[in-house]
Chains A and B, each alone.
Chain A
Amino acid sequence: MVTITRSDTRSGQNQALKKLHFFSAFVTKLNGLALIFAAVLVVILNTVPIYQAQNIAFRAREKSMREHAESIAQMLGWLERLSIEEMPLLARFAPLPAERLIVLDENGQVIYDSVTSDSRIHTRMLSSETAAAIRGNVHFSYQYRETDFYSQITMPVRYKDTITGVVFLSYLDSELGTQLQWVRHTFAVISCFVILLFAGFTVPLSIHFARQMKIIRNTFSMMAKGNYLIRLDETGFDEFATLRQELNRLNIALANTEEMRRRFVSDASHELKTPLASVKLLSDSILQTPDMRQEDIHEFLTDINNEIDRLTRISGRLLQISTLEDKTLQQSYRRTDAKAVAENVCRMLTSLAKASQCTIRPELAEDCFVRASFDILYQIFYNLVENSIKYSGHNKEVRIFLYTREEKVYFIVDDDGEGIPESDLERIFDRFYRVDKARARSTGGTGLGLSIVATAVQNCGGTVKAENRSSGGSRFTVIFPLAPAEEEGGEFDGD
């Protein structure tokens, strides 16, 4: 996991983008891979089939030449000693025009040569092939030169158990050589086609990849500089289209977060500045009025004290929100009995309700377990009930419902107050948002209570909504996922 600290981020914004290294670039690797693949394919295409074709041709040629040489060797095998005088016998074995028949005696000396124009009579043929034949081995060999396929065989001539000479037979097959060359040329053409096909496929693909990578890279670069207004084209069905879509969503989310951050800073500054201004004004009044009466001084100091209390509440609640936004809190959550928490809250707010001449009527069902901590659940319930008590008015009733339905836990707070204006319903959970600012201040509200509730509920995986009841008053509904029964040993079970 990579952790980026604030200082890293700050330095990252100023740092220039790394220059792409040619050999490390993805496109280079893709093209390189395609090139290697094409090269291997071309090598295979130009070797294996041609080798196989040659092999088949050579085997066929070897078989026919072996048979021919054997028949000659068998006929010469009737002679006890091979000599030039006996060679007219070979007239019946007149070789083909492309064939050459040579007979060697036991010394390796040529005693018959079918080619008169290049006759080697009396020459001693001392090659490894003739040496092998003299030792009793048959040796077939071949050479392929341009369009000529040349093959030769050496075979011993045996009289009883004695080797009396060697039959040498060679054959030049230009037609077969031409055919093999045609095969070679055909595969060469196919290879060229394959290379062109690869190039035609990989080059546009790599250009497309490079272009898309550049767009995404540039977008990230702009985002790193704080520009979240870039919107990429989302058309297409490939991975890059998905990536562009995700980038757009990320940009929107980051822009929203940035906007929220700005608004929060602005609101927080405003909320903190107002009590500070009051404190400044009151303290200045005391300091600049030397003859101020003791009662007035006391009254001013009481106001200053109240403003300081309010500042303390605001800062405390901001700290709470900050804590609740920490997702790692969820790791400490246990299966918690919501009924026990709600009973606790009702008990704690009874005195406030009495002071407000208000009645709390709880209807709490059993087995309402939520995956959360006691404190966070308490925070949610307390804020909602306290809010309803404050805004319901005298001689009114605050009804609290807790029950489970379809694997969900419902916590509902109804009051008989004036309700919430429809235009404020959407923003009621925003930080520092108050429906009635004057009244909120008089009741000691900070405008952060419902924001804390929303953040805490979200942290617990739940949802919260506010609505006006048709019969009057408002309703706050919190829905949690029901914690499964196997998660026993919760943090708080009411005992």
Chain B
Amino acid sequence: MAIKNRILWLIIMGLLAFGAILTALLVILLPDSENFQSLWFVRKMDKQSGDLFGQEKRIITPTPDSRLSYLLLTNLIAGPQSSELVTPFPSGTKVLSYRQEGQTVYIDFSADYGKADPFTLSLAEYCLAATLTGVVDEKENGNMDKILYFHITIGGNPHPYYSNTFSLSDFLTDGFGLIPFTRTATLYYPHPNNLYLVPRQEQLMLYSENDLLTSALDTLLHGPADVPSLAIAPPDTTVLFAGVADGVITVNLSRAFLDYANSGMSQARMMLYSIVNTLTGLVSADSVRFLIEGEVISSYGGIPLLEPLSRDASLIFGA
């Protein structure tokens, strides 16, 4: 048993030593990673899921005659070295002209480029943007601007689908890039007797943190999905804007909101403070300014609205 353990121990130590030596050799022998440039291509699609694009690392060194970005573009058109990737650029595509003004690159492709189907052109333009965005070319007296925008023409004519410039942010390549998320928030609904507000935990669906106020307000106005009868506003009311600035929340609602303005002062009070107490509990703000289609209204059901309404915690049941 002891001999077996010793042999096993020796094997493990040997493997560790081998790994350490191999790592050291790789660090010493591999060239500096700064010289590697990423070129983006389309993966061969053998299945309907997974990444659509893949990158290939190459060492591309600019020459006095050719700038780095131009070399990257020509390499991109030439195609990948990997058999798992393909170039989306139509065969025969040539760069007729290439120039950079500020952060924008102007590229005029040959007519062959326009022969591809619209979706393939989009793929090609994403590969172009992903490869060239952020590249900084050198010039005689310093560096050029970082490349961020692209403008494409075909044989001197405008692009058949995109006449404007585009950037990398105009593309969404993550298959699950639009997944919303839920946030638990406390919303205050008026009690039927209109004497106090009742708190209720709601799951709000958000696409970004900026949606929090809009989503909460929308849920208050139209009621939660499981109890729509809790809606505090007329059904046609829409949220035009909800945002916070300088500790004051501004809410801009459609004119339909005014339909309940004459339903009594106590009900109007509860409606407004339902919104005020809910929204001020979600962000760091103390008051809410109400606008109807962008305009300040003097009052709502007898409640003055010329000034923002401050939070009133005494209206909350059990507070």
Chain A positions within 8 Å of B, measured between CB atoms, are 97-98, 100, 102, 105-109, 115, 117-118, 120, 122-129, 131-132, 134-135, 137, 139, 141, 143, 145, 147-148, 150, 152, 170, 172, 174
Q: Which 9 A-B pairs have the closest CB atoms?
A: A118-B207, A127-B175, A132-B48, A107-B118, A128-B52, A106-B118, A117-B211, A134-B119, A108-B122
- B-chain residues with CB within 8 Å of residue A128 when the two chains form the complex: 45, 47-52, 175
CA distance A172 to B121 in the complex (A): 32
CA distance A115 to B218 in the complex (A): 13
Q: How far is the CB of A175 from chain B (nearest CB, A)?
A: 8
CA distance A154 to B40 in the complex (A): 24
Q: Is B171 an interface residue (CB 8 A)?
A: yes
Q: Is B172 an interface residue (CB 8 A)?
A: yes
Q: Please give me the residue from chain A that is nearest to B224 by CB atom.
A: A97
A122 contact from B52, B117, B170, Cβ within 8 A: B170
**Docked-complex contact B208 and A117, CB < 8 angstroms:** yes
Q: Which of the candidate stretches B178-186, B261-269, B283-291, B307-315 sits at the interface with the other chain?
A: B178-186
A126 contact from B49, B126, B179, B207, Cβ within 8 A: B126
CA distance A128 to B50 in the complex (A): 6
**Docked-complex contact A139 and B48, CB < 8 angstroms:** yes
13 new A-B contacts, CB < 8 A, other than A117-B210, A122-B170, A123-B171, are: A98-B205, A100-B178, A106-B118, A107-B161, A125-B173, A126-B53, A127-B175, A127-B177, A128-B45, A143-B179, A147-B182, A148-B182, A172-B205
Q: How far is the CB of A165 from chain B (nearest CB, A)?
A: 10
Given contacts A100-B180, A124-B170, A172-B180, contact A106 B211 (CB under 8 A): no
Q: How far is the CB of B205 from chain A (nearest CB, A)?
A: 6
- A-chain residues with CB within 8 Å of residue B179 when the two chains form the complex: 143, 145, 148, 150, 170, 172
Given contacts A128-B49, A147-B182, contact A120 B172 (CB under 8 A): yes
**Docked-complex contact A126 and B52, CB < 8 angstroms:** yes
Interface positions of B from 191 to 230, Cβ below 8 Å from A: 203, 205, 207-208, 210-211, 214-215, 225
CA distance A139 to B50 in the complex (A): 12
Residue pairs across A and B with Cβ atoms less than 8 A apart, 23 shown, are A97-B205, A105-B118, A106-B119, A109-B122, A118-B207, A123-B170, A125-B171, A126-B126, A126-B171, A126-B173, A127-B175, A128-B48, A128-B52, A128-B175, A129-B49, A139-B48, A139-B49, A145-B181, A147-B182, A148-B182, A150-B180, A152-B176, A172-B205
**Docked-complex contact B225 and A97, CB < 8 angstroms:** yes
Q: Is B246 an interface residue (CB 8 A)?
A: no
**Docked-complex contact A117 and B214, CB < 8 angstroms:** yes
CA distance A448 to B262 in the complex (A): 132
Q: How far is the CB of B98 from chain A (nearest CB, A)?
A: 22
CA distance A85 to B182 in the complex (A): 32
> What does DSSP make chain A's interface, helix, strand, loop or mixed?
mixed
B205 contact from A108, A126, A129, A174, Cβ within 8 A: A174
Given contacts A117-B211, A117-B214, contact A126 B48 (CB under 8 A): no
Q: Please give me the residue from chain B that is nearest to A110 by CB atom.
A: B172
Q: Please give me the residue from chain B that is nearest to A142 by CB atom.
A: B176
Given contacts A126-B123, A139-B48, contact A118 B211 (CB under 8 A): yes
Q: Please give me the residue from chain A that is nearest to B169 by CB atom.
A: A123
B175 contact from A97, A107, A141, Cβ within 8 A: A141
- B-chain residues with CB within 8 Å of residue A129 when the two chains form the complex: 48-49, 175
Q: Please give me the residue from chain A that is nearest to B51 by CB atom.
A: A128
- B-chain residues with CB within 8 Å of residue A100 when the two chains form the complex: 178, 180
**Docked-complex contact B207 and A115, CB < 8 angstroms:** yes
**Docked-complex contact A131 and B178, CB < 8 angstroms:** no
- A-chain residues with CB within 8 Å of residue B176 when the two chains form the complex: 141, 143, 150, 152
0 or 1 for each of B109-139: is its CB under 8 Å from A? (1 = yes): 0000000011101110110000000000000
- B-chain residues with CB within 8 Å of residue A105 when the two chains form the complex: 118
Q: Is B174 an interface residue (CB 8 A)?
A: yes
Q: How far is the CB of B47 from chain A (nearest CB, A)?
A: 8
CA distance A179 to B160 in the complex (A): 49
**Docked-complex contact B170 and A107, CB < 8 angstroms:** no
CA distance A145 to B180 in the complex (A): 11
Given contacts A117-B210, A118-B211, A150-B176, contact A131 B118 (CB under 8 A): no
Q: Please give me the residue from chain B that is nearest to A97 by CB atom.
A: B225
**Docked-complex contact A170 and B178, CB < 8 angstroms:** yes
Q: Please give me the residue from chain B that is nearest to A118 by CB atom.
A: B207
**Docked-complex contact A148 and B181, CB < 8 angstroms:** yes
**Docked-complex contact B45 and A132, CB < 8 angstroms:** yes
CA distance A137 to B119 in the complex (A): 15
**Docked-complex contact B172 and A126, CB < 8 angstroms:** yes
